[in-house]
Amino acid sequence: MQLFRKTHNAEATASANRQNLVLPDNLPCYMIPYGRNLKFYGREAELDEIKTVLDPTPQSDDLKVLSICGLGGVGKTQLALQYANTMMESYDAVAWIPADTQAILVRALAMFAAKLGLMKDGSEDDLQAVQKVRDWLSTAGRRVLLVFDNLEDVQILSQVWPWAGNGSFIITTRSPAVASGRARCVLHLKSFETSTAVKVLNELTGIQALEESEKQAAIEICQSIGGLPLAIVHMSSFIQDRGSTYEEFLDLFKKHAERILASSQTQVDYDHTLYTVWDSSMQSLSTNAKTLLSLLSFFDPNAIPERFLTNPQNQITDPRFEFLSDDFAFGDAVSELITKASLVDRLTSAKSISMNRLVKIVSSVRVPEEERTVYFNTTIQMLSNAFPNTWDSRVDQQGHGFQSWETCSAVVAHVSSLMVLQEQYGLEATNTEAFAELVFRIGTYLWESEQPLTAKTFFEYGLHLGIDPESRVYAHVYRLLGHIALDIAQPRAALAAYQRAYEVTELLDGPESIAVGEVLDSLACSCAEIGDVLRARAYLERSDEINQAQNGRTSSRTQAIFALAYLRGHEPEEALDALNLCWRLQGKTGKEIKYSQYPKHAGDIVLYARIKFALGQKDEARQLVLRSIEMRRGIFSSKGPRVADSLFILARMLEDEAEENAAAKMYREIIDMNCGSAEMKGHLARSLWFLAGVEGRLGRADYASDLRKLANEERAKIMGREHLDEDTDEAFMSLVGWMLW
């Protein structure tokens, strides 16, 4: 092979000499459109990689070719420019060749030939000039760098590609297929990670955020634009022009993203704005690929499972979406979005599609107004079929959807995206009830998986879609809002929600219905949490009467809440009897409950432990609490509210046994668990307060005083507190529900 290359090179040189190729005498020769960018940030590692691959110093008979591939605006051109400018003196000649089309390429190469001095006179045409550049590259033996910028068709390089020589070539392109057509080394350029994006934003704006709110705003800005370098440049210019803080700009961007994007101007060294950078790519797409891109823009841009789009159960009749049911046609459309312009990425292992957040915004804006409702309804239908429908099923157990939590979690962000678009464009679903139900399913999943505050926003959003206030759906939503209120230590708010659910349920099903009995159980639970045990028992007795009349027996749910009410009323023996009856009605033994994967059974074990402790069986109680911690860590987040609650109960038991150091360790573990989530604020404040008590008894009065101050500060951050802010154990205990099932 080496012998062939040398022979071919010699023949080519002889041929070139016969053609009277003029050897240039005006080296070095540099043709670079823009100078060095003094505000080049965040690509140091990539720049080093290019330097390594294209290093012109070693003697070699091989061309060194590197392609930079990625989404428009990701910084391919800027990276190539930075290399060309910083390494210019290492080469005898450097030429920047725009390669958008054949005509543009040829004209640029002709200019390079003239600048090199390859043209004897003005008689040669551009194509002859290209041939002379090719011959010179093949025979001159010079250190040459050519940058072919924005190449869309790899075939047009054939006319200038040398048959020999040791030059260095860079190709920038949006197409992965084009990138790999001539280069062994392909650098897939991605948008900045959030941390890098924030650093670049700070450098460009000159703002160094000191306050936490400003730092968070900078993070949200960079996340909102997907870390796209071109967007960061434009946003920084906008911020500087307006003299805005990050918080001010973020508020403006949330309200007027389209107008801000439309106002972006071209840069000195880049010819596109945020609205035009993908124009040619999007316009060149096939009909199916355009439809797919528009559809994807209604989903969250991160990890869109392909099964959502191609599910046969979708039964979409609109002919524009027929290709989704044809795996070959669908694959073609996805491939086109990837290979033509890097508009999306595909994670093969997960069979999911992702897109830059800014591509989503621009793509959704490009959907004609009269077609948005079609895409909106289609996405609702797809997500409804992807999400297990358990939210309004009547079963003996709450949290009944836990077995499908993993599936549910994949849908949440996509429904959130629909909600944002619905408000942004004033869209109305053709089937409002179907959209509301989808939102309620998400809310139920979020509540079951220890995200009650987020769940609440979904339920409240769904209610504003125009649900009939005298429907079963309406009643069920208010019952779930009551459950959420209990989870965030707002039992009076829960009572009000349950009363609303009771009124509608009684109207629809009658006062003696099983459905009314279920709501009575919930009313009893809120009363027990408030401490009104007598009223709780009255509700339970009424529920029991209904169950006996309708089913001939009590319900396990009623007996579980009886156990709670009895224990709250300092009657542990009766509480134990009620809890045992609850399990028998489920056909379960205590041992089976202890090793169950069902979330509410972990709560049963907590209640069981507290009953045992109240009965004086303290060793068994502690073992049961330890088991509940194990169960809850296996089911929920290891740093979530229910694990924190079990740890707190164990700490209180240890305190009761005068094991102060062990109790303090438990409290500290809860404090260390705090991840900033609103759901954990009550647990944090409560643990700080009780740790202060332990530290005070251990003789560390100053430390205890600091802890109490922190406890008060954290308590003040909790919204919707129903108890007076007193410096008492009772007041801090009220920050968390008395019983978290």
Q: What is the rounded CA–CA span in Å between residue 497 and residue 484?
A: 10
Neighbouring residues of 591: CB distance < 8 A, sequence distance ≥ 6:
none
23, part of any domain:
yes
- Region 696-709 average pLDDT: 97
Domain boundary, last residue among 437, 467, 497: 467
State the pTM of this model: 0.82
Angle at 185 between CA 66 and CA 10, to 5 degrees: 65
CB 284 within 8 A of CB 343: no
Residue 496 has pLDDT above 90, yes or no: yes
Q: What is the rounded CA–CA span in Å between residue 13 and residue 138?
A: 8
Percent share of the chain, pLDDT over 70: 92
CB 298 within 8 A of CB 418: yes
Confidence class for position 2, pLDDT limits 50, 70, 90: very low
- Region 374-398 average pLDDT: 77
For CA atoms 193, 171, 178, 265, give the dihedral sign: positive
Residue 26 has pLDDT above 70, yes or no: yes
- Region 449-463 average pLDDT: 95
- Region 117-138 average pLDDT: 83
pLDDT digits (tens, 9 = 90+) for 97-106: 999 999 999 9
236, part of any domain:
yes
CB 63 within 8 A of CB 166: yes
Residue 378 has pLDDT above 90, yes or no: yes
DSSP for 308-330 reads HHH-GGG----GGGGGGG-HHHH
- Strands (DSSP E) contained in 585-712 are none
**What is the residue type of 199?**
K
Residue 32 has pLDDT above 90, yes or no: yes
pLDDT the model gives residue 6: 43
CA atoms within 13 A on the CB side of 133: 32
Are residue 57 and residue 202 in the same domain, yes or no? no
CA atoms within 13 A on the CB side of 610: 28
Pairing of strands 29-31, 185-188: unpaired
**What is the residue type of 583?**
W
pLDDT the model gives residue 12: 46
CB 67 within 8 A of CB 187: yes
Residue 605 has pLDDT above 60, yes or no: yes
Are residue 108 and residue 217 in the same domain, yes or no? no
Tokens of 592: 């089976």
Are residue 146 and residue 238 in the same domain, yes or no? no
Are residue 55 and residue 121 in the same domain, yes or no? yes
Closest CA to 607 of 654, 557, 567: 567
Mean pLDDT for the chain overall: 90
Pairing of strands 352-354, 304-305: antiparallel
pLDDT the model gives residue 393: 59
Are residue 198 and residue 73 in the same domain, yes or no? no
Q: What is the rounded CA–CA span in Å between residue 693 and residue 702?
A: 12
CA atoms within 13 A on the CB side of 247: 8
Residue showing tokens 């725009």? 98
Confidence class for position 270, pLDDT limits 50, 70, 90: low
Are residue 158 and residue 257 in the same domain, yes or no? no
Tokens of 498: 């349950």
Burial tier of 589 (Cβ tally within 10 Å: 0-12, 13-18, 19+): exposed
Q: Is the peptide bond before 28 cis (omega within 30 degrees of 0)?
A: yes
312, part of any domain:
no
In the chain, how long is the greatest CA-to-CA distance?
110
**What is the residue type of 2?**
Q
CB 519 within 8 A of CB 481: no
Confidence class for position 552, pLDDT limits 50, 70, 90: confident
pLDDT the model gives residue 21: 54
Domain boundary, last residue among 414, 432, 467: 467
642, part of any domain:
no
Domain boundary, last residue among 231, 262, 293: 262
Give the phi and the psi of residue 64 in degrees, each rounded to 5.
-110, 115
Residue showing tokens 């609490």? 625
Are residue 173 and residue 219 in the same domain, yes or no? no
Residue showing tokens 């409702």? 373
CB 60 within 8 A of CB 166: yes
Neighbouring residues of 623: CB distance < 8 A, sequence distance ≥ 6:
none
Closest CA to 343 of 413, 412, 295: 295
232, part of any domain:
yes
Residue 392 has pLDDT above 80, yes or no: no
Q: What is the rounded CA–CA span in Å between residue 102 and residue 105?
A: 5
- Region 313-328 average pLDDT: 94
Q: Which domain holds residue 109?
A: 2-188
Q: What is the rounded CA–CA span in Å between residue 147 and residue 150?
A: 10
Are residue 15 and residue 133 in the same domain, yes or no? yes
For 511-529, letters b (16+ CB in 10 Å) and e give eeeebbbbbbbbbbbbbbb
Residue 172 has pLDDT above 80, yes or no: yes
Residue showing tokens 């990625």? 70
- Region 189-216 average pLDDT: 92
pLDDT the model gives residue 528: 98
Confidence class for position 408, pLDDT limits 50, 70, 90: confident
Q: What is the rounded CA–CA span in Å between residue 218 and residue 493?
A: 36
Q: What is the rounded CA–CA span in Å between residue 275 and residue 253?
A: 15
pLDDT digits (tens, 9 = 90+) for 418-441: 999 999 889 999 989 999 999 999
Are residue 222 and residue 135 in the same domain, yes or no? no
Are residue 119 and residue 219 in the same domain, yes or no? no
Are residue 153 and residue 252 in the same domain, yes or no? no
- Region 525-542 average pLDDT: 97
674, part of any domain:
no
Residue 488 has pLDDT above 70, yes or no: yes
Residue 277 has pLDDT above 90, yes or no: no
- Region 46-68 average pLDDT: 89
Percent share of the chain, pLDDT over 90: 73
- Region 205-232 average pLDDT: 92
Are residue 391 and residue 444 in the same domain, yes or no? yes
pLDDT digits (tens, 9 = 90+) for 241-253: 999 999 999 999 9
For residue 183, give the CATH number of its domain.
Answer: 3.40.50.300
- Region 626-634 average pLDDT: 94
49, part of any domain:
yes
pLDDT the model gives residue 4: 37
Neighbouring residues of 189: CB distance < 8 A, sequence distance ≥ 6:
46, 68, 69, 70, 74, 75, 76, 79
Domain count, the chain: 3
460, part of any domain:
yes
